[in-house]
């Protein structure tokens, strides 16, 4: 059986294109990233611990991110980022699981679900290289992610924001089920009722029958495409 081709992405510092694993190794030694780090470290202010995170869909290796997050950032800020770039559709609950503790959002009255802890905790109190963190968004139609702490460094952040996108997968190239041309739409009726991929190009989406599940939804670069009411735009929040 032929091995599935891995998706590739581009280093935000030097523009080199690699696979997820290749970028994980490359980012540790990228000359342009090192140059940016030296420049940032020369600025005023206290050094802090900054983490390299690799985030991926738990079941589909096509979708992944390489992020840098400052230690003072909270799990809540990471949750916000993941929602904005990949997940948010209907304001569902979400959770990180670290060790034996589950971290969720607090409700307006200050209560959380069961004995869950609050996401309003800085990541430097929890993260260390090698840690793997399951994350869930929406406890009904659930999107599951796996977050790996790849490395840490001491110094200054490279951006004023709590999180920096260092690389992400390029959108997988999918073929229209009718003609084999690049697909741009997903028909949920085909998936649930016809046992077909539901992938359609612009031409075939225009006249495709979809009586029970609404119009086809646009394919976007997110593992939540086709789930719940998600329709993108799958863009980073800053």
Task: Find the range with the poorest average confidence among 21-25, 83-87, 115-119, 167-171.
Answer: 115-119
Point out the domain boundary residue: 105, 136, 168.
168
Average pLDDT value for residue range 145-161: 97
153 shares a domain with 94: yes
Average per-residue pLDDT in the chain? 91
16 shares a domain with 130: yes
**Statement: residue 73 has pLDDT above 70:** yes
149 shares a domain with 182: no
pLDDT digits 0-9 by tens, 201-228: 999 998 887 777 778 889 999 999 989 8
Enter the pTM of the model.
0.91
* pLDDT band at residue 111 under the 50/70/90 scheme: very low
190 shares a domain with 112: no
Q: Is there a domain that residue 235 lies in?
A: no
Q: Is there a domain that residue 237 lies in?
A: no
**Statement: residue 4 has pLDDT above 70:** no
pLDDT of residue 233: 86
* Residue 140 domain boundaries: 8-168
122 shares a domain with 28: yes
106 shares a domain with 183: no
Q: What is the 3-state secondary structure (H, E, C) of the chain?
A: CCCCCCCEEECCCCCCEEEHHHHHHHHHHCHHHHHHHHHHHCCCCCCEEEEEEEEEECCCCCCEEEEEEECCCEHHHHHHHHHHHHHCCCCCCEEEEECCEEEECCCCCCCCCCCCEECCCEHHHCCCCCCEEEEEECCCCCEEEEEEEEEEEEECCCCCCCEEEEEEECCCCCECCCCCCECCEECHHHHHHCCCCCEECHHHHHCCCCCCCCCCEECCCCCCCCCCCCCCCCCCCC
């Amino acid at each position: 059986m032929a091995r599935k081709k891995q998706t590739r992405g581009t280093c935000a510092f030097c523009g080199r294109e690699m696979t997820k694993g290749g970028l994980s190794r490359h980012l540790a030694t990228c000359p342009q990233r090192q140059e940016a780090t030296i420049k940032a470290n020369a600025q005023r202010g206290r050094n802090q611990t900054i983490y390299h995170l690799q985030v991926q869909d738990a079941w589909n290796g096509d979708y992944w991110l390489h992020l840098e997050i400052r230690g003072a950032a909270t799990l809540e800020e990471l949750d916000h980022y993941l929602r904005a770039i990949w997940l948010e559709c209907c304001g569902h609950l979400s959770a990180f699981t670290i060790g034996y503790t589950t971290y969720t959002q607090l409700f307006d009255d200050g209560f959380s679900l069961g004995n869950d802890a609050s996401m309003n905790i800085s990541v430097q109190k929890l993260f260390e290289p090698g840690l793997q963190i399951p994350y869930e968004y929406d406890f009904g139609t659930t999107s599951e992610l796996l977050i790996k702490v790849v490395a840490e460094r001491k110094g200054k952040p490279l951006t004023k924001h709590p999180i920096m996108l260092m690389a992400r997968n390029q959108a997988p190239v999918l073929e229209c089920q009718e003609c084999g041309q690049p697909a741009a739409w997903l028909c949920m009726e085909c998936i649930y009722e016809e046992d077909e991929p539901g992938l359609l190009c612009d031409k075939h989406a225009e006249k495709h029958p979809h009586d029970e599940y609404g119009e086809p939804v646009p394919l976007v670069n997110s593992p939540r495409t086709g789930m719940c009411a998600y329709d993108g735009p799958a863009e980073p929040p800053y």
